[in-house]
Structure 1
Amino acid sequence: MEIAKFGVEDWLNVWENDAIYDIAGSSIASMTLEEILEFIHIDKDEFMKMCFDKKMNYGWIEGSPEFKEEVCKLYDDVKPEQVLQTNGATGANFIALYGLINRGDHVVSMYPTYQQLIDIPKSFGADVDLWQIHEEDNWLPSIDELKSLVRSNTKMICINNANNPTGSIMDENYLTQVVEIAKSIDAYILCDEVYKPLCDDIKVPSIVDLYDKGIATNSLSKTYSVPGVRVGWVVSNLEVANVYRKIRDYTMICAGVLDDVIATLVLKNKDLILERNRKIVEENLEIVKEWLKTEPRVTLNLPKNVSTSFIKIDVEMNTEEFCIALLKEKGVLLVPGNRFDMPGYARLGYCARKEILIKGLEELSAFLRKFD
């Protein structure tokens, strides 16, 4: 099997440990275990006893009943048997694609997006058409273009909502149109939903709440600020879930027993975590807005309370070379847009710790002055 190098991960593997000001990531400021316990009001001794009492066996293969129960609460009418615990959303996406996509199948994928949704189907021998997002439409792709891309034999439409790297959101009205197109050709829709918008003025339902052949993947890594537990999940109808059960046995068997404990505690107390994270997103977005007013070489279609953004940088320099020079000279880490096949842009993960964001933007502006 041949597969393209994973652009973003390859970049971060090489450069992220050199960063002083890491504003490249797309999680909302990750918490320490101590912070998690403080936010959900669990005594440390109580938590440690809970962990010490856990037998370090394989645990619950598909995720504990408590974990599945909490995941079900995120959707309108999902039963525990439709939920499978995975190794992060990357594991969920892999299982979702591996279980359904075969050589010769036709797939339409939003582009650019998380690279898994494009290159994994290609590696399986699928024919993949790219559904291009457009900056002038707030980084959304055209519904009419989707209609022209799908075929009578299209097996799956892959989307990422909100989008990585831009933060663009498909709201309920938009998603309903995508569902109608998928229904017309009896195609699945795989939606990577790790970037939950933290705002109340826009309705963004899960794809599984809109469509029986919808497949939702998610994790604790982005909106919930706990990437370190490496726990995600895939939700689908029962027929598809039974296909995925076979794939899981070949790819992961189970998550860690203690990871399941932490993941379940976070989901049980998600309202407290999301309250913390909503504040971070709102406050940091205001910092970015103020910075943009004073930075003539950067423009941005502002995301809607989503933890990732895609800035346009006005410099006459190769984007990757620019980002390497910025890191070496100022210690500021961005993800160059060419890693999403979008040179001239960069992913700005503005939901870092506030002091890191402020200093990182300050140093980025100082570096940009050499191009004036």
Structure 2
Amino acid sequence: MKIAGFGVEEWLNKWEKSATYDISQSTISSMTMAEALALDGNDGASFYDLLNSQKMNYGWIEGSPDFKAEVSKLYKHVDPDNVLQTNGATGANHLALYALVEPGDHVISEYPSYQQLYDIPKSLGAEVDFWHIREDKDWYPDIAELKSLIRPDTKLICLNNANNPTGTLLDEAFLKQVVALAEEVGAYVLVDEVYLPLDHPENFTSIVDLYDKGIATNSLSKTYSMPGIRVGWTASNHELADRFRKYRDYTMICCGVFNDLMATYILKHRDKVLARNRQLVLNNLNIYKDWIDSEPRASVVMPQAVSTSFPKLDIPEDIESFCVQLLQEQGVLLVPGSRFDMPGHVRLGYCADEATLKEGLKRLSEFLRQYD
């Protein structure tokens, strides 16, 4: 099996620890343990009471009943038994693709999007067609293009909602059109749903609440600001969950006792987490908008209070060279758009802490002045 290098991860693995002002990430500013434990109003006493009574064995293999119950509350029609805990959303995506895709299958993947969603199917021997998103259409895909791509033998459609790196959200009406086309040929629809719009979360609809053959993957890494515990999940119908179980046994045993407990604790306090993150995102989005308005060499299709964005930079040189020089001279880290096969753009994560964002944008502007 051959697979392309994972462009974003290779870039971050090489450079992120060198950054002073990291505005490349798509996580909403990660919580410290102290912040997380303060959610119960008693400095984590409820969490530690549970933790101190646990043996550090394998724990619940698929995720504890409490974890499954909390995840199922995020959806309208998902039974807790159909939730499977994974090693982040990357583990969830890998599990679903590994379980479903066979050599010769036809897969349609939104492009650009999270690289797993097209390069893993390719590596498994599938024929992958790209369903393009375009900047002049506000990074929205065209349903007519999907109609032209879909075939009687299409096995799977892969989406990223909201999209990484652009932050574009696909609304319910659009998703229903996708579902209608998928139903015609019996295709599955896999949607990576790690980004929730925090200005109007009610505008988000999960694919599993629209389609029986829909598969939702998610995690606590982005919207819930806890990437350090590496907990994600798949949510699906019962038939798919049973299929995933078999393949899951070959890819992981468990996420660990501590991680499961912390994930459940975060989900039980999700209203407080989302309130914290809504304030941060909306505040930083205003800072970001002001910067875009004042920076002549940057333009962007604004995300809908989603923690990732994809601005275009008007510079006369290779975007990767620019990003390396920016890091080395200003300490500011971005992800070059070439890592998403979109040179000329950068992924800018505006949901770092406010001080990092402000200083990072200031230094980015100072660096851009050399081209004036």
Question: Matches of 1:344 and 1:32 in 2, distance apart?
Answer: 34
Give yes or no for the alignment of 1:50 onto 2:50.
yes
Q: Give 2:264's aligned residue.
A: 264
Where do 1:290-369 residues align within 5 Å? 290-369=290-369
TM-score, normalization by structure 1: 0.99
SS at match of 2:89: helix
Q: Give 2:276's aligned residue.
A: 276
- Structure 1 runs not aligned, ≥5 long: none
Q: Give 2:212's aligned residue.
A: 212
Q: Give 1:113's aligned residue.
A: 113
Question: Matches of 1:34 and 1:193 in 2, distance apart?
Answer: 27
1:280-318 deviation digits (Å, cap 9, x = unpaired): 110000001111121100001110010000010000000
Question: Matches of 1:364 and 1:273 in 2, distance apart?
Answer: 30
Give yes or no for the alignment of 1:190 onto 2:172.
no
Q: CA deviation at 1:78?
A: 1.0
Q: CA deviation at 1:43?
A: 2.9
Q: CA deviation at 1:80?
A: 1.4
Where do 1:129-168 residues align within 5 Å? 129-168=129-168
Q: Give 2:83's aligned residue.
A: 83
Question: Matches of 2:236 and 2:50 in 1, distance apart?
Answer: 31
Question: Matches of 2:151 and 2:42 in 1, distance apart?
Answer: 52
SS at match of 2:310: strand
SS at match of 1:99: helix
Q: Give 1:253's aligned residue.
A: 253
Q: Give 2:199's aligned residue.
A: 199
Q: Which amino acid aligns with 1:327?
A: L
Q: CA deviation at 1:40?
A: 3.4
Give yes or no for the alignment of 1:65 onto 2:60.
no
SS at match of 1:309: coil
Q: Which amino acid aligns with 1:197?
A: P
SS at match of 1:310: coil
Question: Matches of 2:46 and 2:182 in 1, distance apart?
Answer: 49
Q: Give 1:32's aligned residue.
A: 32
Q: Which amino acid aligns with 1:127?
A: E
Q: Which amino acid aligns with 2:335?
A: V
Q: CA deviation at 1:138?
A: 1.0
Q: Give 2:13's aligned residue.
A: 13
Q: Give 1:128's aligned residue.
A: 128
Q: Which amino acid aligns with 2:15?
A: W
Question: Matches of 1:358 and 1:197 in 2, distance apart?
Answer: 22
Question: Matches of 2:237 and 2:156 in 1, distance apart?
Answer: 15
Question: Matches of 2:237 and 2:48 in 1, distance apart?
Answer: 37
Question: Matches of 2:32 and 2:179 in 1, distance apart?
Answer: 39
Question: Matches of 1:329 and 1:122 in 2, distance apart?
Answer: 38
Question: Matches of 1:127 and 1:167 in 2, distance apart?
Answer: 27
Q: Which amino acid aligns with 2:356?
A: I
SS at match of 1:364: helix
Determine if contact 2:47/2:262 at 8 Å carries over to the other structure.
Answer: no
Identity across aligned pairs (percent)?
A: 60
Q: Which amino acid aligns with 1:226?
A: M
Question: Matches of 2:46 and 2:271 in 1, distance apart?
Answer: 21
Q: CA deviation at 1:340?
A: 0.1
- Structure 2 runs not aligned, ≥5 long: none
Q: Give 2:244's aligned residue.
A: 244
Q: CA deviation at 1:48?
A: 2.8
Question: Matches of 2:80 and 2:201 in 1, distance apart?
Answer: 30
Q: CA deviation at 1:42?
A: 3.8
Q: Would you say how many aligned residue pairs link Structure 1 and Structure 2? A: 372
Question: Matches of 1:182 and 1:201 in 2, distance apart?
Answer: 25
Determine if contact 1:40/1:272 at 8 Å carries over to the other structure.
Answer: no
Question: Matches of 1:11 and 1:138 in 2, distance apart?
Answer: 26
Q: Which amino acid aligns with 2:309?
A: S
Q: Which amino acid aligns with 2:185?
A: I
1:128-187 deviation digits (Å, cap 9, x = unpaired): 000000111110110000000111100000000000000001000111111111011110
Q: Which amino acid aligns with 2:256?
A: G
Q: Which amino acid aligns with 2:170?
A: M
RMSD: 0.9
Q: CA deviation at 1:199?
A: 2.1
Q: Which amino acid aligns with 2:280?
A: I
Determine if contact 1:72/1:78 at 8 Å carries over to the other structure.
Answer: yes
1:47-85 deviation digits (Å, cap 9, x = unpaired): 333222111111011000000000000000211111000
Question: Matches of 2:257 and 2:9 in 1, distance apart?
Answer: 27
TM-score, normalization by structure 2: 0.99
Q: How has the CA–CA distance of structure 1 residues 188 and 46 changed in structure 2, closer, same or farther, with 3 Å as cutoff?
A: closer
Determine if contact 2:87/2:231 at 8 Å carries over to the other structure.
Answer: yes
Larger deviation: 36-45 or 315-324? Answer: 36-45
Determine if contact 1:171/1:202 at 8 Å carries over to the other structure.
Answer: no
